[in-house]
Structure 1
Amino acid sequence: MSHETNDGPDSVDDSSPETRSPTVDGRDNDDEPTTIERADRTITFHSCSRATVTGDFEDGDIAYANTGFYDDGLFGDTILEDGVAVGDDVDTPFSGTIVFGIGERSGVSVESDRVVVGVPDYGSDGTAITSLTTQREDYRMGAPTHEHPRASECLEAIGPE
């Protein structure tokens, strides 16, 4: 199911289908974003399947989504599989929003003030964005920078009964 397109920096292009975020505790958590303000960036977890990083990016800056998924009832995860390296994947300097969305189409598309990173649905039972890695030091160590505050709820919603 796709989210509706709008002109805001957090919108998802219709050309990159996105799966609907799992329902958590009887509510669709797409309506309850969590924002983390940093001096240089704003990180927002919009749902289990969508996150954004907004700010100014220089050569060598990175932004990667890490996921957890269930495939035929078995848990798996990805670390630093889907994202961008500014200067390699995106021209520098870049000022705008990097959008991560779980959907059928993977890859990176670059617009003037927005980069869309399509995250594949890795699991047959579902996939959730569990954290973002946005600091070079964390990237080098394969560690998350920002944990999704509701990651355990997201994984529980797609996990085996």
Structure 2
Amino acid sequence: MSHDADDGPHSTEGSSSEPDSPAVDGRKSDDEPATIERDGRTITFHSCSRATVTGKFEDGDVAYANAGFYDDGLYGDTILEDGVTVGDDVDAPFSGTVVFEIGEGPGVTVESDRVVVTVSDYGSDGTVIASLTTRREDYRMGAPTHEHPRASECLEAIGPD
């Protein structure tokens, strides 16, 4: 996949992180989604516990969520534990939406134009979708492609007082 150097205000260059900001494009509420257009796909962080990637996926393309959580007041995170590889987990090519949602246990449900990836609720104090990995190069390095622009706020809301 190609990567343009100027992907807009919410993109990352390579696998570097997007800046955390409490107000993304003037939004102050987690009720308003943050959307990133990149590599012919639309990545949307709908809330702290839900994100989607919509577009066309070829054999070998990936879509993984990386979660941050607090368990008994201690911070933990996951890297590439919840997601799909097209061609392995989902028939290739795939056109549609990959949905990531925090839920009771891990799982993948495949429909004709939608894949739902349930991200485990890893922490006793809460879990958030901190970033998504959607580029093969980032997947190989174990790096996020798209940081949730409000990840810090989401983690602060569930963190110890």
TM-score by length of 1: 0.81
**What residue is the counterpart of 1:7 in the other structure?**
none
Identity of aligned pairs, percent?
82
What residue identity is the alignment partner of 2:86? Answer: V
Partner SS for 2:78: strand
**What residue is the counterpart of 1:133 in the other structure?**
133
Partner SS for 2:79: strand
1:37 corresponds to 2:54: no
**What residue is the counterpart of 1:68 in the other structure?**
68
**What residue is the counterpart of 1:59 in the other structure?**
59
TM-score by length of 2: 0.81
**What residue is the counterpart of 2:156 in the other structure?**
156
Aligned alpha-carbon RMSD (Å): 1.3
Within 1, Cα distance between the matches of 2:29 and 2:125? 17
**What residue is the counterpart of 1:146 in the other structure?**
146
Partner SS for 1:80: coil
* CA-CA distance at 1:105 after TM superposition: 3.2
**What residue is the counterpart of 1:124 in the other structure?**
124
**What residue is the counterpart of 2:105 in the other structure?**
105
Runs of 4+ in 1 over 6 A off after TM superposition: none
Q: Which consecutive residues of structure 1, in runs of 5 or more, have no partner in the other structure?
A: 1-23
* CA-CA distance at 1:106 after TM superposition: 1.7
Deviations along 1:16-62, one digit per CA (max 9) or x if unpaired, are xxxxxxxx9xx872x21000011410000000000000000000000
Q: Which consecutive residues of structure 2, in runs of 5 or more, have no partner in the other structure?
A: 1-21, 23-27
Within 2, Cα distance between the matches of 1:28 and 1:72? 27
Partner SS for 1:116: strand
| Count of residues paired in the alignment | 135
